[in-house]
Amino acid sequence: MANVEKNALPMKNIDDALQIRNHLLIQLEKATRIHDVSQRQKLLNIVIAGGGPTGVEVSGMLAEMSKKIVYKDYPEFKEHQLDIYLIDAADKLLGSMSQKSQKEALTTLGKLGVNIKLGISVKDYDNGIVSLSDGTTIETATLIWASGVMGRKAPGLPAESIGRGRRVMVDGFNKVIGVEGIYALGDLCYQTADTNYPNGHPQLAQVAIQQGLLLASNILKTQVGKPMKSFSYKDKGSMAIIAKFKAVVDLPKGFFKGFLAWLTWLFIHIIPLVGFGNKAKVLYNWFWSFFTNDPTLRLIIRPEEDDK
Ligand SMILES: Cc1cc2nc3c(=O)[nH]c(=O)nc-3n(C[C@H](O)[C@H](O)[C@H](O)COP(=O)(O)OP(=O)(O)OC[C@H]3O[C@@H](n4cnc5c(N)ncnc54)[C@H](O)[C@@H]3O)c2cc1C
């Protein structure tokens, strides 16, 4: 969708996240100077496309921000706070997770006031209007795209090696199908040889890490003439944070939610940070934000280019 590509804000990496933060703060600043109620509401409406973990996490966080931070910083908005819409073409949130997690996400976000629209897809976003497949529209200055990951183009690979979402088709050893000596791993690859995942693996960090480790050991094996081992994903579980003190954790043999799940999410995401100093700093910042509901980083940072 060309208009969506042009006008929506993607949520895929740190640059995107900074861009979204700047954009949202700018819309809030603008809204303080607009007295026309409908024009102002347009700036305070936020539409998020995609009800996977990213969309759920972003909408929960913005709903909390609306309730606990925005009204403090902008007393003008007491009556017109952020209106958050979460849209998904499927009939559930967190489609890749358990039914219990899906239900919990729906209930928690509903309680936070997020307008959830399921079974409906975004069709267009032009002139500040999001058009939906049910014929309705939402006026907004902000459409956050939290759906689907597309691989970068890999020019030179034969067309038959490229699958859905530009994922590169690989065999059980992560070797690209149709060419010699090229391997693809993680999000970028599409592997159907793993009997438990005939439709490919979920695009998760654990898949990428496990494939990377196996490929490294397989390449070493080939150097000493030993046979390579085929990849089989070991699911350690998945989780999503929904709101403050609320998260869901799906384990291969169980499910838990609430405060314990939230603590688990924080712990698991602190562990891989590089260096003790970073871990301590992030932990301290989170602690401070969670206690005070007052994160300090409300800076609008824009590259010079944009200002010109
Ligand atoms: C918002 C968001 C939240 C997520 N949260 C979670 C989570 O909580 N848990 C989880 O397990 N997963 C999560 N994921 C998914 C997870 O990030 C990916 O599954 C994981 O990063 C995949 O690792 P990768 O190495 O395959 O790809 P990437 O991490 O994307 O790394 C690929 C790298 O290759 C580089 N690159 C691209 N093209 C080229 C080129 N031509 N030449 C050289 N380099 C190139 C890219 O710049 C990038 O650095 C999340 C994803 C998103 C977008």
139 with 33, same domain: the answer is yes
CA distance 191 to 233: 11
Q: Is 146 in the pocket of ligand 1 (CB under 6 A)?
A: no
In a domain, 235, yes or no: no
Q: What is the pLDDT of residue 6?
A: 94
In a domain, 58, yes or no: yes
CA distance 171 to 161: 11
Lowest mean pLDDT among 74-78, 84-88, 141-145: 74-78
The residue whose CA is least distant from atom 17 of ligand 1 is 205
CATH number at residue 39: 3.50.50.100
Q: Which atom of ligand 1 is nearest to the CA of 146?
A: 1
Domain boundary among 199, 223, 247: 223
Told to judge if 76 belongs to the known catalytic residues of this protein, a careful annotator would answer: no
In a domain, 112, yes or no: yes
Ligand 1 midpoint to CA 210 (Å): 14
82 with 11, same domain: the answer is yes
pTM for the structure as a whole: 0.88
Q: Is 115 in the pocket of ligand 1 (CB under 6 A)?
A: no
Domain boundary among 184, 208, 223: 223
Q: What is the pLDDT of residue 79?
A: 65
Q: Is 187 in the pocket of ligand 1 (CB under 6 A)?
A: yes
In a domain, 293, yes or no: no
The residue whose CA is least distant from atom 43 of ligand 1 is 152
In a domain, 306, yes or no: no
> Which pLDDT band holds residue 218 (cuts at 50, 70, 90)?
very high
- The amino acid sitting at 106 is L
What tokens does 174 get? 């992560």
Q: Is 12 in the pocket of ligand 1 (CB under 6 A)?
A: yes
Between residues 134 and 304, the one the model is more confident about: 134
If one counts every other C-beta atom within 10 angstroms of the C-beta of residue 237, the result is 15
Asked if the model's pLDDT at residue 307 lies above 60, the reply is: no
Asked if the model's pLDDT at residue 302 lies above 80, the reply is: no
306: CB partners within 8 A, 6+ apart: none
Q: Which atom of ligand 1 is nearest to the CA of 154?
A: 41
179 with 110, same domain: the answer is no
**Containing structural domain, residue 203:** 159-223
> Which pLDDT band holds residue 304 (cuts at 50, 70, 90)?
low
Rounded mean pLDDT of 29-36? 92
62 with 174, same domain: the answer is no
Q: How many domains does the chain have?
A: 2
296: CB partners within 8 A, 6+ apart: 288
The residue whose CA is least distant from atom 51 of ligand 1 is 12
Q: Which atom of ligand 1 is nearest to the CA of 206?
A: 11
